[in-house]
Structure 1
């Protein structure tokens, strides 16, 4: 195993996200629950930070792209997206867990590709 020079953030939807999904016209996901939404969440790599507040500030800088990635993973039609996608709304819609230790348990190089511009 190898230490990775990154921290991570886990982006976990909260009730307002589920409420939005349930309000989208034509939504047929009647069995969708908050627990199921929070069971497989987006994880992003962050720069290493000395203080958790630095990681939160980094999330604040990236919130717009993160918000768009989260809603686009359900609906790519921007007309269906929430009207308020402000920083305040982001923190109302998502919990963010910051973790400072990242280990790579796989031998070999990490490959990556851009998440795309939304």
Structure 2
């Protein structure tokens, strides 16, 4: 077990409707199911993952970074992003899911940051 929790953001229908509306080259209609198949996992400290209140406090503090990271995965052109990326919109777009137990099944193999 590693000393981290796993946090994921689940997209709502409101977010999916926005994604479908702004797509400059729509290929197919996105659905809530399709956008939530592959989600980014954010590792957080055990202390953050310890309770729903601490998860919410951490997400609220970091919501802009999380929001922009999610938007960047869809569109690198920031002019397509919503102008008001605030806490209220974040809460409309995402449901927060957190898991406090993370097992590392790759014992003996280092975790490597691909961006480093």
| TM > 0.5 fold call | yes
The 5 Å alignment of 1:7-46 reads 7-24=5-22, 26-46=24-44
Report the alpha carbon displacement of residue 114 of structure 1 after superposing the two structures with TM: 5.1
1:111 aligns with: 112
Query: Which blocks of at least 5 consecutive residues in structure 1 are unaligned?
Result: none
Closer, same or farther: CA 21–40 of 1 in aligned 2, 3 Å? same
* Aligned Cα root-mean-square deviation (Å): 1.6
Query: Which blocks of at least 5 consecutive residues in structure 2 are unaligned?
Result: none
Distance 2:16 2:9 in 1: 14
Deviation string, structure 1 residues 36-77 (Cα, Å, up to 9, x no partner): 111111110011123221111111111101100111111111
Number of matched pairs = 113
Distance 2:100 2:62 in 1: 18
Of Structure 1 and Structure 2, the greater helix share is in: 2
